[in-house]
Structure 1
Amino acid sequence: MHVMPLLLLIAGSAAVAGAARRTPVPAPLLLVTVGLVVSYVPGVPEYALDPGVVLPLLLPPLLYTAATDSSYLDLRAQLRPVALLSVGYVLFATLTVGYVAHLVVPGLPLTAALVLGAVVAPPDAVAATAVARRVGLPSRITTILQGESLVNDATAITAYKVALAAAVGEGATWAGGVGEFLVAAVGGVGVGLVLMVPIHWLRTRLREALLQNTLSLLIPFVAYAVAEQVHASGVLAVVVVALYLGHRAYEVDFATRLQEGAVWKMVAFVLESAVFALIGLQLPVVLRGLGEYEGPRAAWYAVVVFLAVVASRFAWVYPATFLPRFFSARIREREDNPTWKAPFVIGWAGMRGVVSLAIAFSIPLTLHGGEGAFPERNMVLFLTFTTVIGTLVVQGLSLPPLIRLLRLPGRDPQAETLAEANAQAQASRAAEKRLADLLDDERNALPPPLADRLRAVLERRRNAVWERLGAVNPVTGETVDDTYRRLSREMIGAEREVFVRLRNGRYIDDEMLRTLLRRLDLEEAAAYRETAV
């Protein structure tokens, strides 16, 4: 891809994603729709997906950001449903969807149909995270969907390799497929376990935030490349490393965390926007090779495969939810009895994404040894594309109203604030004791105003959370905490204007201005708690 088309893709997708924030439509759906429309605008360059770019260059950072934002403890608590979906469901969907496609599409061999099944089997990490974040799913459902989407790509890629080997005539067997899956899974986890400790050690030893964040940007690519080099799963290696680093992020200094959070938010925003736009832009590339299948027949095949994908997920999710409880008294004792609603949402939330398209575009043109063309390759590409678009549009658009209709219990902001306040109170008591011990030492002697300032900052931090539970101002509708932050921002703004005026009058130079502004920025950041975007 040349520089100008790449810049147009990034700028255009970022603009559409930014506009989506002002609409009720989730950004992924608007990006796909705009991509579909723009793909037929005269003069728009052709954006053909290159699996050699998507898998090693786009997938690792997207997985890394999703995994570091996930909770290792929550994922461990939901290990059974995550494993059943990320491994069991992917294999089940590969067989089910592949067999249905073989029955419906004339001339599509079973081996090629299983390739299609493996390609469309995994729900997408980016789509699941983006939609779950927007619609406010209950935390347990969000954890399960995120955990599934982090691991299922490894299962799908391995299943695809086995099915592809059979389709092109390389003599793949079930035993060989199971062995390859085990090698990829165990190897990927092993590479992640080997890399995570030295990488974290290096992160904690680097003293400059700039160097630490440069390392942070390299980590997902290094983990993926090392694992793939030894024929293991690069996906699992990235996920293992990212979960470990995210779990121990508190051991890195504050400057790195602040900078790293901003850097990765920007990277994730740009990549996610470009990825969904690329999905829509694939339409001309996919339709060009359909040939004899153009028209109503191709649409019928697409509808049947889409329905098979949706139905196979429900056919797996409900038994996977209720059968373990039926057979295990321990599970019944430890877990609440689920209703039919949560599995229904999990079943309906299986959006596919760019990974499926990238894998599909990697299907070779010919069989092993060049003995003929790959059977119905263009049809497999078309059915993959329509399945991805169908799940993103149909399921993605209907998921928010479905959640409202089912009245699932969402996150309780008041309960979360109360938990935060209790945690802050415990931390404040420990800090007060530590401060008292330090001030008793003559080596730490401070003038009373400075010691009082330390106590006041601590008191402010403790009270700020409790104030969010209090009454609001009848005039402005603000809580006390909101009013404090607004007034703090106004005061800082006044200081900032003076500093700029002094710089413009040549009383201070630009270097001093930057120093003073950074100090104000840090104070403003401290006054404002971070909110989820």
Structure 2
Amino acid sequence: MLLPAGALAVAAVARWRGWPAPLLLVLAGLAASLITSRFSGAPEYRLDPEVVLLVFLPPLLYSAALDSSYQRLRAVRRPVGLLSVGLVLFTAAAVALVAHAMIPGLPLAAAFALGAIVAPPDAVAAVAVARRLGLPRKVITILVGESLFNDATALTAYRVAVAATVGVVVTPLGAAGEFIYAAGCGVVIGLALAYLTGRLFGILRDPLITNALGLLVPFVAYLGAEAVHASGVIAVVVMGLVLGHRMDRTTYGARLVSHSVWKMLDFVLEIVVFLLIGLQLPLILQGLSGRNPWHVAGYAAAVFAVVVLTRLVWTFPSTYLPGMLFRKIREREERPPVKYAVVVGWAGMRGVVSLAAAFALPADFPAREMVLFLTFVVVIGTLLVQGLSFPMLIRKLGVTSEQEVYKDNLTEAAAQQAAASAALARLEELTSEGVLETQSDVVERLRVQAERRAMGAWERLGGGVGPEGEETPSTLYRRLRREMLDAEREVLVRMRDERRIDDEVLRRVTRELDYEEATLARD
């Protein structure tokens, strides 16, 4: 109980003061580990790789995928692919060559395992830091998309490297085939489970049952994929993206509960994860007794520098070379500002997945303690050095989302206007059926409310039965208003599918409709 309670206390202070909670939690963990290491009998919080990979990772990946935009990810699939596959392999190779050359007794295969461990930026860190800083949507989409998919590349490379280290013969063709199999099967499993889960979500009407099922499905996807040696990461991410895209097909109650449940779960899991990272310091230092501290410090500085520099070296060519080489890309896409490339290049915070992979190395792995220490230095270094300097860099470059916020408000107002027009048209259809002649006051109230909703968006831019068996005015009002809300949702979803509004705008407007529908419901 001490760990979650302490994490919650630190996170509460961070939110109260407006500080970045992930970074403060890491510092608190480091401080706590240094203090408790001086007292015998103090509790030891050892990071269990099985717990991280099977308990923490699936729900965090699933939640991030649910909250991502399938359409936006499609629009940036090339940079996301270059970062999540190309950069991971480039970083792993560069770290392997440097570590193998510097560290005595470290085989090349073991050095490549180290490179695969420290190569992928963390999904939790990317989401937690990028969104808090108000980065432009395209930059956030690239960072989040990269962090969602790069674990699959890194973990596959990690398995191949570990196998080669312990004596299993691995060929480049065999490694490529393993990656293709893991990724392809992960996609298939994710799509299949998304289809089945989506059908169930459409049938279930109880928000609690729907969301209880939603809490289980990321674990089912991850464990199911891993059982057939496919990528559990890709299965979870693909399923989350598809279900997030089709969330409008569930009930309003399920959407409202889902939003709250995942927001709370993300908060709890994230604060525990970041505090756990800092608490690993004494355990890692124990394995380095007897080594020359200056040599160890030199190895750590070199590996950290390689991790940071390879990302910067890769980002600029991968951002601008495709447009220079291919005319269709130049004609179809705008040239990204240089400051966007700088932000993406500096946003390489590593996290708990890297540590979990290092702790999962076999006990007889060559230089295991050194690999564990170097991984810890890279994780802590990127979180603190890049994480703490990230806000200053963004302010210095002037990278903001102010124009997108204005555009979102404008498109939201237009969408509200279109949705209100559809609702009024539906109301006119219902009144033309002749069943509302005696309730003209209800019809007028509905008409005024629909018009007020549309006007409110522009302003922001600057079950009862009567004694005779008839519907009471309040019952009639709720029934007709629900019909109108359904009409509004249909228009909003169609506008999203036609790419006239963004997924984020759809979610924001739909949540308002869901709240209103919740006020119409009776127990």
TM-score scaled by length of structure 1: 0.85
| Cα distance, 1:112 vs structure 2 | 1.1
Secondary structure of the 2:104 match is coil
What do you get for the CA RMSD once the two structures are aligned? Answer: 1.8
228, 231, 236: which one aligns with 1:230 = 228
Unaligned runs of 5+ in 2: 463-511, 519-523
| Cα distance, 1:449 vs structure 2 | 2.6
| Cα distance, 1:460 vs structure 2 | 2.2
390, 396, 405: which one aligns with 1:399 = 390
AA aligned to 1:201 is: R
Give yes or no for the alignment of 1:386 onto 2:377. yes
1:11 — aligned with what? 5
2:16 — aligned with what? 22
53, 56, 62: which one aligns with 2:54 = 56
Encode CA deviations 1:464-484: one digit per residue, 9 max, x unaligned. 2111133xxxxxxxxxxxxxx
2:181 — aligned with what? 183
AA aligned to 2:452 is: R
Encode CA deviations 1:370-429: one digit per residue, 9 max, x unaligned. xxxx21100000000000000000000101110110112424222221111011001110
The change in CA–CA distance for 1:143 and 1:403 in structure 2 (over 3 A counts) is same
Aligned 8 A contact 1:38 1:44 in 2: no
Give yes or no for the alignment of 1:39 onto 2:33. yes
2:481 — aligned with what? none
CA distance in 2, matches of 1:161, 1:448: 70
| Cα distance, 1:318 vs structure 2 | 1.1
Encode CA deviations 1:173-208: one digit per residue, 9 max, x unaligned. 222211111110111111112211111001110111
CA distance in 1, matches of 2:87, 2:513: 49
| Cα distance, 1:221 vs structure 2 | 0.3
| Cα distance, 1:40 vs structure 2 | 2.8
Unaligned runs of 5+ in 1: 1-6, 367-373, 471-521, 529-533
CA distance in 1, matches of 2:201, 2:290: 56
1:511 — aligned with what? none
CA distance in 2, matches of 1:453, 1:15: 48
2:158 — aligned with what? 160
1:351 — aligned with what? 349
CA distance in 2, matches of 1:446, 1:189: 56
AA aligned to 1:376 is: A
The change in CA–CA distance for 1:327 and 1:11 in structure 2 (over 3 A counts) is same
Task: Give the stretch that moved more between structures: 114-123 or 435-444.
Answer: 435-444
Give yes or no for the alignment of 1:456 onto 2:454. no
Aligned 8 A contact 2:252 2:514 in 1: no
Encode CA deviations 1:118-164: one digit per residue, 9 max, x unaligned. 00000000000110011111111100000000000000000000011
| Cα distance, 1:101 vs structure 2 | 1.2
Secondary structure of the 1:108 match is coil
| Cα distance, 1:356 vs structure 2 | 0.2
Secondary structure of the 2:343 match is helix
| Cα distance, 1:452 vs structure 2 | 2.1
Give yes or no for the alignment of 1:280 onto 2:278. yes
Aligned 8 A contact 1:71 1:243 in 2: yes
268, 291, 297: which one aligns with 2:289 = 291
96, 121, 129: which one aligns with 1:131 = 129
Encode CA deviations 1:22-41: one digit per residue, 9 max, x unaligned. 33431110000001111133
CA distance in 2, matches of 1:112, 1:120: 13
Runs of 4+ in 1 over 4 A off after TM superposition: 522-528
1:432 — aligned with what? 424
Give yes or no for the alignment of 1:97 onto 2:91. no
Between the two proteins, what is the percent identity of the paired residues? 55
2:495 — aligned with what? none
CA distance in 2, matches of 1:391, 1:375: 25
AA aligned to 1:78 is: V
Encode CA deviations 1:82-110: one digit per residue, 9 max, x unaligned. 00000111011110111111122222221
Secondary structure of the 1:37 match is helix
Residue correspondences, number: 464
Encode CA deviations 1:299-341: one digit per residue, 9 max, x unaligned. 2211111100001111111111111111100000011122321
| Cα distance, 1:525 vs structure 2 | 5.2
Aligned 8 A contact 1:183 1:232 in 2: yes
The change in CA–CA distance for 1:525 and 1:209 in structure 2 (over 3 A counts) is closer
69, 84, 87: which one aligns with 2:67 = 69
2:209 — aligned with what? 211
AA aligned to 1:384 is: T
CA distance in 2, matches of 1:438, 1:446: 13
CA distance in 1, matches of 2:400, 2:332: 20
TM-score scaled by length of structure 2: 0.86
Encode CA deviations 1:200-249: one digit per residue, 9 max, x unaligned. 00111011111101100001001111111111000000011100000000
AA aligned to 1:267 is: L
Give yes or no for the alignment of 1:466 onto 2:458. yes
Task: Give the stretch that moved more between structures: 31-40 or 459-468.
Answer: 459-468
